[in-house]
Chains A and B, each alone.
Chain A
Amino acid sequence: DQQVKQNSPSLSVQEGRISILNCDYTNSMFDYFLWYKKYPAEGPTFLISISSIKDKNEDGRFTVFLNKSAKHLSLHIVPSQPGDSAVYFCAASGGGTGANNLFFGTGTRLTVIP
């Protein structure tokens, strides 16, 4: 059973506009959430994370929002750039699920159109 879900397999956005990638989870024990960016045939690169004690974390053009009551998180990229085109994975970890083990969503392919 998929505990972390990314229901949009793909997203296309115009350069300069906002990209919003969504992620839902089912396990209320998760207390740490991460976003990774992945290019084909390469390993995922860590982007940004958020602890469950926060509801927002910013790092440059990237902001992650966490809504614990809805078990939902989102990644906002503003402004979007062509180099942002990649597959984005959200991941979660937390007490009771195995120390530091990450549970991944299936990914969303972002295409930023110049």
Chain B
Amino acid sequence: DGGITQSPKYLFRKEGQNVTLSCEQNLNHDAMYWYRQDPGQGLRLIYYSQIVNDFQKGDIAEGYSVSREKKESFPLTVTSAQKNPTAFYLCASSPGQETQYFGPGTRLLVL
């Protein structure tokens, strides 16, 4: 089945630790995105990539990093510089048109 997978479903981060969230899609979409959702708020864009080996910062990129070495994969690293990492992280992909399709999300919690 075609779709977007995110792993893990839950992730715990210790103080000062970097953690990486996985996002994979087999939809052959060119563009991929990472969003963060906090309670009572909409989705805010962290990073996006329109093509392999290229990515751009979104509205809240500080404390995060990404890579796009393969078309189907767009991992997000939450670094120790991100002081408030607890949130629900959503990955999306798009065939280049405006509609984006989302994965199931990863909830990140700080120990």
Contacts and interface: CB of A to CB of B under 8 A. Distances in A.
A53 B96 CA distance: 19
Interface stretch (B60-68, B69-77, B78-86, B99-107): B99-107
Contacts of A36: 102
Given A100-B31, A101-B48, A106-B41, A41 B107 contact: yes
B42 A106 contact: yes
A-side interface size class: 20 to 34
Contacts of A32: 98
SS class of chain B's interface: helix, strand, loop or mixed? Answer: strand
Interface of B: 4, 6, 31, 33, 35, 40-45, 48, 50, 56, 58, 88, 90, 92, 94, 96-105, 107
Interface of A: 2, 4, 9, 32, 34, 36, 41-46, 49, 89, 91, 93, 98-102, 104-107
